Amino acid sequence: MILRPQCVPQMPLMAAMQGYLAEQVLPFHTPGHKSGKGAHETLLQYLGQSTLALDLTVVPGLGDLFDKQGPIRESQKLAAALYGADESYFLVNGTTGGIYAMILATVGPGEKIIVPRNIHRSVMGALILSGAVPVFVRPVVDTDLQIAMNITVEAAESAMLQNPDAKAILLVNPTYYGVVADIANITALAHQHGMTVLVDEAHGPHFCFSHDLPIQGITAGADIVVQSTHKTLGALSQSSLLHCRRERVHVPRLETMLQLVQSSSPNYILLASLEAAVTQMKESGALLVNQSIDLARVARTRINKIPGLYCFGADRVGWPGIFDFDPTKLVVTVSALGIRGNEAEIWLRRQGKVQAELSDANNVLFLVTLADDEASMEQLIKALTALSQEYADEKRKTTVPFASLPEAVAPLLLSPREAVFSSQERISFVGSAGRICAETITSYPPGIPILFPGEQISLAAIAYCQALQRQGFSILGPEDPTLNTVEVVA
Ligand SMILES: Cc1ncc(COP(=O)(O)O)c(C=O)c1O
């Protein structure tokens, strides 16, 4: 079957894929299903022959993900121009792969990198791979909402002054909850200290398309930025973009690391989806993103009128740890209803027929994207109104006990890599205080690690994990998912 996408001139990869299919040559190459002919009938039925035909591979004319020229490179150049980067790269292992590559390209074994405590687990994965030593900066915790916000300029600067030998700082722009730090100021300070600025912008690929959104990392002067194009824009899951500025980045090393962490058989459907998402944003990014901002603004106002619900917004900007925020992320605090966020999430799925992005002790997060419209927002408001009515009965209200995040950052006695590759033993978790943790222990969502490999386990961390488990939150990361036991350094 020959596909005829209409916007091919701006889509060099799609054009090359279409050209190859138009030749109608008999494939004697991977993938083995050969345009779906060898696929299971259920897969063929679900995806359709035209989709499976696009599952191509590195044949002459289509280019390789790591080629210096060819259609993928051409398409990446268009992405760089749109985002204002010197170089942009397509990623097929999500932002996770991009974070691995940017850290591996920047900090080596034993070298320091300043990172916020509320990093995504992919950052810890990168630290284990590289052998770098993290210097943790504690984000401000909003004790009402029980959400880790972002880091302050003061905390970042203090870490830089205390660790002038750090090679880089990593910023999260924005957090899962849409909260950003003063990234432009922190970037300028880091550069004064000779540090490279790396940005996990998984949740911000739409930032540069509206003046009503926080500044994106590349515009703020950051050196390498990774965005999950699949999270808030139109690319398929696992499709992300890495952007960089050349000044402080050794680009050939970055490219080597991108090869190291990614497949030699990239999925061309994912690559084509990245190209399509970039083209879509070039054509109508401002319109689409501003529409979603407007929808979210109206929804936020309406949610704040529903009894028992609160959705933070501009009212909290300027509070410690909230330099700015992304209005398209609706963080709905449900604690005044006397229920927990995860209970609300389940109720909303079953009764309201809406599925949230995540929930935690007090909050449920909803993402508004370019796919939403007035009808979808109406359904969300209807479901939230019903939730409020369901729990309006005063008798049901109880103070919901929630776990408090441990105050202090535990001392790091070994680098994460040293801890993971050390000889280890499995002991009872409750009796592990004082020992060096050899695993990552995360509460997910929102994916904020409680214990990292190399950290000394504290009584506070044990109590926090137990409280989370009692409240029904899942603990991810340890080999023993019950957390009755933990792997420690022997
Ligand atoms: C803050 C943050 N960084 C990085 C990632 C990893 O992104 P991806 O799923 O594209 O690999 C996530 C995923 O949820 C995230 O929330």
Ligand 1 binding pocket includes 201 (Cβ within 6 Å): no
pLDDT given for residue 2 in this prediction? 47
Distance of CA 99 to the CA centre of its chain: 10
456 and 435 Cβ atoms separated by less than 8 Å: yes
Assign 404 a pLDDT band (cuts: 50, 70, 90).
low
Give distance in angstroms: CA of 98 to centre of ligand 1: 10
Ligand 1 binding pocket includes 172 (Cβ within 6 Å): yes
Which ligand 1 atom is at minimum distance from the Cα of 230? 10
Ligand 1 binding pocket includes 202 (Cβ within 6 Å): yes
The average pLDDT across 236-247 equals: 98
Give distance in angstroms: CA of 431 to centre of ligand 1: 33
Give distance in angstroms: CA of 97 to centre of ligand 1: 10
Which ligand 1 atom is at minimum distance from the Cα of 240? 10
Chain mean pLDDT for the chain: 93
Query: For a substitution probing ligand 1, which of 118, 228, 442 has the most ligand atoms within 8 Å of its CB?
Result: 228
Least confident residue range of 258-272, 383-397, 409-423: 383-397
354 and 393 Cβ atoms separated by less than 8 Å: no
Give distance in angstroms: CA of 367 to centre of ligand 1: 14
pLDDT given for residue 121 in this prediction? 84
pLDDT given for residue 471 in this prediction? 76
pLDDT given for residue 1 in this prediction? 46
- pLDDT exceeds cutoff 70 at 403: no
The average pLDDT across 187-207 equals: 98
- The token duo for 98 is 């991009």
Which ligand 1 atom is at minimum distance from the Cα of 99? 4
Least confident residue range of 1-15, 86-100, 311-325, 455-469: 1-15
The average pLDDT across 131-143 equals: 91
- pLDDT exceeds cutoff 50 at 88: yes
> Could you please report the per-residue DSSP string of 316-373?
GTTSTT-SEE-TTEEEEE-GGGT--HHHHHHHHHHTS----SEE-SSEEEEE--TT--
Q: Which residue has the higher pLDDT, 145 or 1?
A: 145
Sign of the dihedral through C-alpha 443, 449, 452, 456: negative
Q: Which residue is associated with the tokens 């590759």? A: 421
Ligand 1 binding pocket includes 232 (Cβ within 6 Å): no
- pLDDT exceeds cutoff 70 at 148: yes
- pLDDT exceeds cutoff 60 at 5: no
416 and 134 Cβ atoms separated by less than 8 Å: yes
420 and 438 Cβ atoms separated by less than 8 Å: yes
- pLDDT exceeds cutoff 60 at 14: yes
- pLDDT exceeds cutoff 90 at 450: no
Ligand 1 binding pocket includes 200 (Cβ within 6 Å): yes
Three-state SS across 62-112? CCCCCCCCCHHHHHHHHHHHHHCCCEEEEECCHHHHHHHHHHHHHCCCCCE
Ligand 1 binding pocket includes 94 (Cβ within 6 Å): yes
Residue nearest to atom 16 of ligand 1 (CA): 176
- pLDDT exceeds cutoff 70 at 147: yes
Model confidence over 339-382: pLDDT tens digits? 989 899 999 999 999 999 999 888 999 999 999 999 999 999 99
Model confidence over 107-134: pLDDT tens digits? 999 999 999 988 998 999 999 999 999 9
Highest mean pLDDT among 142-156, 175-189, 401-415, 449-463: 175-189
Least confident residue range of 69-83, 268-282, 408-422: 408-422
The average pLDDT across 392-412 equals: 64
Give distance in angstroms: CA of 120 to centre of ligand 1: 6
Spatial CB neighbours of 439, under 8 Å, sequence gap ≥ 6? 420, 451, 453, 477, 478, 479, 486, 487
Rounded to two decimals, what is the model's pTM?
0.94
Residue nearest to atom 1 of ligand 1 (CA): 120
Query: For a substitution probing ligand 1, which of 96, 99, 173, 198 has the most ligand atoms within 8 Å of its CB?
Result: 96
Ligand 1 binding pocket includes 36 (Cβ within 6 Å): no
Ligand 1 binding pocket includes 227 (Cβ within 6 Å): no
Highest mean pLDDT among 106-115, 393-402, 405-414: 106-115
- pLDDT exceeds cutoff 60 at 398: no
Ligand 1 binding pocket includes 279 (Cβ within 6 Å): no
Ligand 1 binding pocket includes 235 (Cβ within 6 Å): no
Query: For a substitution probing ligand 1, which of 90, 92, 93, 95 has the most ligand atoms within 8 Å of its CB?
Result: 95
Assign 445 a pLDDT band (cuts: 50, 70, 90).
very low
Ligand 1 binding pocket includes 415 (Cβ within 6 Å): no
pLDDT given for residue 402 in this prediction? 54
Q: Could you give the CA distance from residue 328 to residue 344 in angstroms, rounded to a whole number?
A: 20
- pLDDT exceeds cutoff 80 at 97: yes
Ligand 1 binding pocket includes 95 (Cβ within 6 Å): yes
Ligand 1 binding pocket includes 228 (Cβ within 6 Å): yes
Q: Could you give the CA distance from residue 237 to residue 230 in angstroms, rounded to a whole number?
A: 5
Assign 449 a pLDDT band (cuts: 50, 70, 90).
confident
Ligand 1 binding pocket includes 73 (Cβ within 6 Å): no
